[in-house]
Structure 1
């Protein structure tokens, strides 16, 4: 059986290059996520921004059907 060192070297070089590029891509994605994502999305807003929270009260009454309709309409 003939073992080609050049062929094995090519395979190992390809595998190392693939692993290196995979690690670099993963690190790039992690860095990009850290840059884009806000530090604390639940902090108090600054300037004239308002943080809106609370419940929307249904003007039609409080039946279960009305609550379900408001839930699907406003998504709360």
Structure 2
């Protein structure tokens, strides 16, 4: 015959509830701090003398053949 001890289960339930609550609070704290630290517009156009070097143009120096690709690799290392 198995005896269920209510007090023992009540302590475990309180422990699990406190653990879950603290986990949610810590997660929200990390989310708030992460949003506070993250730059506001990281994909906006740069200001001042900064240059944006990424281009969305498909024809920007992409080698067409295998030989062109090999020569491009030897020349630029990419």
Say whether the fold is shared (TM-score over 0.5): yes
Normalised to the residue count of structure 2, the TM-score between the two structures is 0.61
> How many pairs align?
70
Runs of 4+ aligned residues of structure 1 deviating over 4 Å after TM superposition are: none
Displacement of 1:11 in angstroms is: 0.9
Displacement of 1:39 in angstroms is: 2.2
Change (3 A) 1:27 1:69: farther
Q: Which residues of structure 2 form unaligned runs of 5+?
A: none
User: 2 CA distance for matches of 1:47 and 1:37?
Assistant: 21
Q: Which residue of 2 aligns with 1:52?
A: 53
RMSD of the alignment, in Å? 2.8
Q: Which residues of structure 1 form unaligned runs of 5+?
A: none
Displacement of 1:2 in angstroms is: 4.1
For 1:1-76, list aligned pairs within 5 A: 2-54=3-55, 55=60, 57=61, 63-65=64-66, 66-67=68-69, 70=72, 73-74=77-78
Displacement of 1:45 in angstroms is: 0.9
User: 2 CA distance for matches of 1:69 and 1:35?
Assistant: 46
User: 2 CA distance for matches of 1:8 and 1:21?
Assistant: 20
